[in-house]
Structure 1
Amino acid sequence: MSTQGWLVDRQARLRAFDRRRPWVMDTLVAVPIVLFSIPNLIEDPLSATIATLVLLPPLYWRRRYPFPAFLVTATIDLILGLLDVGVGAGVILLVMLFGVASRGSWRALVWATGITLALLVAEIYLINPVTENRVTTLLLAIGASGTAVASGVAVRTRRAYLIALEDRAARLEVERDQRARLAVAEERARVAREMHDIVGHHVSVIVGLADGGATLATARAEQSAEPLQLIGDTGRQALSELRRVLGVLREGGDADPQLSPQPGIDDLDRLLPSVRAAGLSVTYSTSGELHTLGRGVQLAVYRIVQEALTNTLKHAGPSASATVTLAACDGEVRIQVRDNGRGGPAAPGHGLHGMRERAAMYGGVVTAGPAERGWLVDVVLKEPS
Structure 2
Amino acid sequence: MNSPATPREPDPFLHHPVGRWMLGRRDRFRNLDQRHPWLRDTVVAGLLLLFSLPQALGEDREHDPTPEPAQPVALILAATALLLAPLWWRRRAPMAGFLAVAVILLAEWSMNVWISTGMVVLVMLYGVAARCSMRMLALAAGITATEFVFAVYVLQPVPDHRLATVVLLLGTCSAGVAAGLAMRTFRAYQGAQTERVTWLETQRDQQAQLAVAAERARVAREMHDIVGHHVSIMIGLADGGAALATNRQEKAAEPLRLIGETGRQALDDLRRMLGVLHDDTHDPELTPQPGLADIDRLLTGVRAAGLAVTYRTTGDLHHLGQGLQLAVYRIVQEALTNTLKHAGRDVSAQVTVTSEENLVRVRVTDSGSPGRHHGPRSPDGHGIVGIRERASLYGGTVTAGPHRGGWAVDVTLTATGPHP
TM-score bin, normalised by smaller chain: 0.5 to 0.7
Equivalent residue for 2:217, pick from 152, 173, 189? 189
Q: 1:174-213 counterparts in 2 under 5 A?
A: 174-196=202-224, 198-213=225-240
CA offset at residue 135 of structure 1?
A: 4.9
Q: Per-residue displacement from partner, 1:161-197 (whole Å, max 9, x unpaired)?
A: 221221122112212211221121121122112212x
Counterpart residue number, 1:22: 37
Counterpart residue number, 1:337: none
The answer as to whether partners of 2:125 and 2:177 remain within 8 angstroms in 1 is yes
The answer as to whether partners of 2:110 and 2:155 remain within 8 angstroms in 1 is yes
In structure 2, what residue type is equivalent to 1:50?
A: A
* Distance in 2 of aligned mates of 1:77 and 1:86: 9
* Distance in 2 of aligned mates of 1:222 and 1:88: 118
Counterpart residue number, 2:168: 140
CA offset at residue 121 of structure 1?
A: 2.3
The answer as to whether partners of 2:130 and 2:183 remain within 8 angstroms in 1 is yes
- Quick check: which one's helix share is greater? 1
* Distance in 1 of aligned mates of 2:229 and 2:107: 96
CA offset at residue 199 of structure 1?
A: 2.5
Counterpart residue number, 1:35: 50
Q: 1:241-260 counterparts in 2 under 5 A?
A: none
Please say if 1:104 is aligned against 2:158.
no
% of aligned pairs identical? Answer: 39
5+ residue gaps, structure 1, are 251-385
Q: Which has the higher contact order (CA 8 A, sep 6+)?
A: 2
The answer as to whether partners of 1:73 and 1:89 remain within 8 angstroms in 2 is no
CA offset at residue 138 of structure 1?
A: 3.2
* Distance in 1 of aligned mates of 2:140 and 2:117: 15
* Distance in 2 of aligned mates of 1:139 and 1:188: 72
Counterpart residue number, 1:214: 241
In structure 1, what residue type is equivalent to 2:136?
A: A
The answer as to whether partners of 1:102 and 1:153 remain within 8 angstroms in 2 is yes
Q: Larger deviation: 32-41 or 130-139?
A: 130-139
CA offset at residue 32 of structure 1?
A: 0.8
Counterpart residue number, 2:103: 75
Equivalent residue for 1:57, pick from 85, 90, 95? 85
Q: Per-residue displacement from partner, 1:94-130 (whole Å, max 9, x unpaired)?
A: 1111111111121221121122122222333332344
Counterpart residue number, 1:354: none
Counterpart residue number, 1:120: 148
In structure 1, what residue type is equivalent to 2:241?
A: A
In structure 2, what residue type is equivalent to 1:34?
A: L
1:162 aligns to what SS in structure 2?
Answer: helix
Higher alpha-carbon Rg: 2
Q: Structure 2 vs 1, CA of residues 64 and 135 (structure 1 numbering), >3 Å: closer, same or farther?
A: same
Q: Structure 2 vs 1, CA of residues 120 and 164 (structure 1 numbering), >3 Å: closer, same or farther?
A: same
The answer as to whether partners of 2:55 and 2:116 remain within 8 angstroms in 1 is no
In structure 2, what residue type is equivalent to 1:154?
A: A
In structure 1, what residue type is equivalent to 2:40?
A: M
Q: Per-residue displacement from partner, 1:331-377 (whole Å, max 9, x unpaired)?
A: xxxxxxxxxxxxxxxxxxxxxxxxxxxxxxxxxxxxxxxxxxxxxxx
Q: Per-residue displacement from partner, 1:57-79 (whole Å, max 9, x unpaired)?
A: 32122223222211110010111
In structure 2, what residue type is equivalent to 1:41?
A: A
* Distance in 2 of aligned mates of 1:117 and 1:216: 107
* Distance in 1 of aligned mates of 2:219 and 2:87: 64
* Distance in 2 of aligned mates of 1:16 and 1:92: 26
Counterpart residue number, 1:149: 177
In structure 2, what residue type is equivalent to 1:39?
A: P
- Aligned-residue CA RMSD in angstroms? 3.6
> With structure 1 as the length reference, what TM-score do the two structures score?
0.54
* Distance in 2 of aligned mates of 1:158 and 1:213: 80
CA offset at residue 10 of structure 1?
A: 4.1
5+ residue gaps, structure 2, are 1-14, 59-71, 278-420
1:56 aligns to what SS in structure 2?
Answer: helix
* Distance in 2 of aligned mates of 1:40 and 1:166: 46
In structure 2, what residue type is equivalent to 1:164?
A: A
Counterpart residue number, 2:296: none
> With structure 2 as the length reference, what TM-score do the two structures score?
0.50
* Distance in 2 of aligned mates of 1:48 and 1:60: 20
* Distance in 1 of aligned mates of 2:207 and 2:52: 61
